[in-house]
Structure 1
């Protein structure tokens, strides 16, 4: 089953996190409508099974006691084309989901469709939710700060990811440039792949030779010491260093 960009003008996404335990478990219902060349959005997000936990257990995991969220409004129309492109590329499963995942309703169709590319659609939904959070000032854009210290130089840069309008800006001193969106999102996934040892993080970046990263929370980690690979077969730390060195030194 293939669709052209003109075939679909409305889309509903429903997601259930499945067996993930609280306070992380959640469901959401998102309606998208670009039939009038603007992107109208409705979102209802609800965290589930939190009555099994104490208030302190929820807070200890970095959540609040009121994380459910409702939004009805518009998003930047720059999101329309990526949604359409993903729809035209999607292959569909003939089976319903057993536990957890995302299903789609196309246009006014009441029959759910299950995309085979679950991870891709879940990432798209997460990006759209983040765009809503930024547009409503619930959350600020993501800032990644990086420092490379060599024997000769100290080089600093900041990557700012604006989900609200799908732009990514690299600031290095007085220089500023836009980065490719897809490349940047893959870099963000890579950055959050390793294990971060917060017990040895610092409030200021290092000054000795090495590579240091702040993932937006004001705490600095040294790559290779405070940031280590989870999977020995995949050198995420090395890849992060290489990507930033290419940007800083290229």
Structure 2
């Protein structure tokens, strides 16, 4: 049964990573209720099948022995409409359960007590929105700070510096360009951010020092500067993500 999105009171999202191997394999569950002035939220994530790995194998992939996480609390209402809008535009499959490839299942309940359980066909959109909401949870609970991405272009004549501060908790992006600060559209920022995380970044040649020589540089949020043309490579030869990144930051000059 498809519910009227404006009447939805509660949404639950179950995710299973499917056949990917440990230590990456995991399941998570989100329970969100739309209250007056906040979103009542429960979140659990559990990493699966790690008992078959040595501790060193887990550490080598950047994980710890305590990556499971639980949260119960309030998240700002800025996230209510995105969930309801996605529900309204979603087409639903006839499947009742996920297969071995995993994915997202959605439960919804409206103010009249009607419920809907189904598997969306636009799996990637639901997974992305859930991941962004999880980042909001991490910010609210002080587990992680807002994401900060820095870009610097140095030529013989000019030095342009950009800082993007992504506040997932309130769905706001703050742009600072050469000292000038303004808010940037959330949906527009997602496109540039998606390009930023496509290339392969070689940390063997990265630097934690602020660049001063000619070139274009980026810090993806971890404090290390990567120089384009040296240590930043497109993973997919058919798609030039690096050019998209340059173009994206140049377009910020028009805001």
TM > 0.5: yes
CA deviation profile, 1:150-175 (whole Å, cap 9, x unmatched) = 12011111101000110000112321
Of residues 206, 209, 214, the one that matches 2:214 is 209
Distance 1:41 1:173 in 2: 38
Equivalent residue number for residue 71 of structure 2: 71
Of residues 100, 103, 109, the one that matches 1:101 is 103
Distance 2:33 2:254 in 1: 43
CA deviation profile, 1:174-232 (whole Å, cap 9, x unmatched) = 21011110111121111001111111111224333221001111111112321111111
Distance 1:146 1:171 in 2: 10
5+ residue gaps in structure 1?
none
Output the aligned Cα RMSD: 1.7
Equivalent residue number for residue 139 of structure 1: 144
Aligned residue pair count: 250
5+ residue gaps in structure 2?
none
Distance 2:13 2:119 in 1: 10
Equivalent residue number for residue 28 of structure 1: 28
CA deviation profile, 1:86-107 (whole Å, cap 9, x unmatched) = 1100100112421210101111
Distance 1:66 1:75 in 2: 24
Equivalent residue number for residue 221 of structure 1: 226
Distance 1:145 1:176 in 2: 14
Give SS of 2:170's match. coil
Of residues 233, 237, 240, the one that matches 1:232 is 237
TM-score in terms of structure 1 length = 0.94
Equivalent residue number for residue 57 of structure 2: 57
Distance 2:176 2:170 in 1: 18
Q: Using the TM superposition, give the Cα deviation of residue 2 of structure 1 relative to its aligned residue in structure 2, in angstroms.
A: 5.0
Structure 2 residue 155 is the aligned partner of structure 1 residue 154:
no
Comparing 167-176 with 122-131, greater Cα deviation is found at 167-176
Comparing 149-158 with 34-43, greater Cα deviation is found at 34-43
CA deviation profile, 1:101-138 (whole Å, cap 9, x unmatched) = 01011116776300000000000110111100000000
Of residues 102, 122, 125, the one that matches 2:130 is 125
Distance 2:119 2:52 in 1: 30
